[in-house]
């Protein structure tokens, strides 16, 4: 048999012997890791020092992991109100509201809304009210696309950003949402954050908005009411979802803290019995 074949065979036999040993070592280490708090606690009542040192190491490893998990839990659950506010900027994916595979459109909404410091839920509500997520929608007044962009708004916002664009781009979800979000951003600035007036202007035009009075058109009144209601519903759903997650994390953190505190008590009792119990 060639020397190379002999060496290969030896390596294979070495691996076959090593793997069971490695598996056995992993099982023993895991066993000691899980049982180390109990063994240390029981050993604290013994008079003779017969405990294997690996049990002490396993217990310190257990305590380190518990402390690490507790610290991670504190970081994760820190500032639940901040996390709730962040969750408010996440578009809902309720399948009762969404028809078909709209995940790419949702990603476009998130990206453009957050880039312009607008709640994506508000953009979602506008698109739901305007076109019901139909990219090829065209209104009798000539508004087009998902966010029902009027030709003059399209010319004002899109062509100044891309001189090579054409009118057919208005049906592109990416371009349409980009223009719609920028137009909404400017309306919100114009009306100093008044979402109701911005929605009224978005639907009826700035010239038809009369601050302090009801919307001029009946259709606009229904549009503003329905869009605001949908937006608020989505915000509540987002807040409820985030609060539920925060509560679960808080419960887990309390459990981890309890385990860590118990381990410290066991360690204290064991050290006391070994140092002062004689």
Q: For residue range 216-271, what is the model confidence (pLDDT) as tens digits?
A: 888 999 999 999 999 988 877 777 766 677 777 777 777 877 877 887 777 777 77
Query: How large is the average pLDDT for residues 55-59?
Result: 76
Residue 78 is a catalytic residue: no
Domains: count for the chain: 2
Label residues 210-237 b or e (16+ Cβ within 10 Å = b).
Answer: eeeeebeeeebeebbeebbebbeebbeb
**Spatial CB neighbours of 77, under 8 Å, sequence gap ≥ 6:** 246, 249, 250, 253
pLDDT at 229: 92
Which CATH number belongs to the domain containing residue 234 in this structure? 1.10.530.10
Q: Which of the pair, 51 or 219, is modelled with greater confidence? A: 219
- Domain final residue pick, 43, 78, 113: 78
Query: Across 31-40, 52-61, 193-202, which has the greatest mean pLDDT?
Result: 193-202
On whether both 138 and 153 belong to a single domain, the answer is yes
On whether both 59 and 110 belong to a single domain, the answer is no
Q: In whole angstroms, how far apart are CA 125 and each of 121, 205, 219?
A: 6, 18, 16
On whether both 14 and 61 belong to a single domain, the answer is yes
The per-residue pLDDT for range 61-94, each reduced to its tens digit, is 777 777 777 767 666 655 554 444 444 444 444 4
On whether both 111 and 235 belong to a single domain, the answer is yes
Query: How large is the average pLDDT for residues 40-59?
Result: 71
On whether both 166 and 197 belong to a single domain, the answer is yes
Structural tokens at position 268: 């204290």
On whether both 217 and 91 belong to a single domain, the answer is yes
> pLDDT band at 183, cuts 50/70/90?
very high
Residue 107 lies in a domain: yes
On whether both 112 and 44 belong to a single domain, the answer is no
Range of weakest confidence among 123-127, 166-170, 274-278: 274-278
pLDDT at 100: 45
Range of weakest confidence among 22-26, 88-92, 210-214, 250-254: 88-92
Reduced to 3 states (helix: H, G, I; strand: E, B; else coil), residue 261 is helix
pLDDT at 88: 45
For the chain, percent of residues with pLDDT exceeding 70: 70
On whether both 25 and 92 belong to a single domain, the answer is no
Range of weakest confidence among 158-167, 196-205, 226-235, 245-254: 158-167
Query: How large is the average pLDDT for residues 27-51?
Result: 72
Residue 265 lies in a domain: no
CA-to-CA distance for 150 and 201, rounded, in angstroms? Answer: 12
pLDDT at 48: 63
Query: How large is the average pLDDT for residues 47-53?
Result: 66
Residue 264 lies in a domain: no
Query: How large is the average pLDDT for residues 38-49?
Result: 71
Residue 10 Cα to chain centre, angstroms: 51
On whether both 242 and 138 belong to a single domain, the answer is yes
Residue 134 lies in a domain: yes
Catalytic residue among 78, 93, 96, 130: 130
Q: Would the pLDDT of 178 be above 50? A: yes
| pTM for the predicted model, two decimal places | 0.55
Query: How large is the average pLDDT for residues 133-138?
Result: 90
Residue 239 and residue 85 in contact, taking contact as beta carbons nearer than 8 Å: no
Task: Print the domain residue range for 18.
Answer: 3-78
């Amino acid at each position: 048999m060639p020397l190379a074949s002999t060496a290969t065979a030896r390596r294979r036999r070495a691996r076959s012997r090593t793997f069971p040993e490695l598996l056995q070592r992993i099982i023993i280490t895991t066993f000691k890791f899980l049982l180390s708090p109990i063994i240390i606690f029981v050993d604290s009542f013994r008079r003779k020092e017969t405990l294997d040192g690996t049990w002490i190491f396993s217990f310190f490893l257990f305590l380190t992991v518990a402390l690490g998990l507790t610290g991670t839990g504190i970081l994760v659950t820190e500032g639940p109100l901040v996390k709730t506010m962040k969750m408010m900027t996440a578009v809902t994916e309720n399948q009762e509201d969404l028809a078909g595979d709209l995940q790419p459109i949702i990603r476009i909404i998130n990206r453009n809304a957050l880039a312009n410091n607008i709640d994506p839920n508000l953009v979602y509500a506008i698109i739901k009210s305007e076109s019901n997520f139909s990219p090829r929608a065209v209104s009798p007044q000539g508004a087009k696309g998902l966010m029902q962009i009027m030709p003059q708004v399209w010319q004002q916002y899109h062509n100044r950003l891309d001189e090579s664009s054409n009118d057919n781009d208005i049906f592109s979800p990416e371009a349409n949402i980009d223009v719609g979000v920028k137009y909404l951003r400017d309306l919100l600035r114009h009306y100093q954050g008044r979402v109701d007036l911005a929605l009224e202007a978005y639907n009826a035009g700035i010239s038809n908005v009369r601050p302090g009075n009801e919307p001029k058109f009946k259709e606009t009144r229904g549009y503003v009411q329905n869009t605001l209601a949908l937006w608020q519903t989505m915000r509540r759903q987002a807040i409820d979802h985030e609060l539920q997650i925060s509560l679960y994390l808080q419960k887990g953190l309390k459990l981890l803290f309890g385990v860590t505190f118990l381990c410290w008590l066991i360690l204290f009792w064991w050290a006391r019995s070994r140092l002062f119990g004689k």
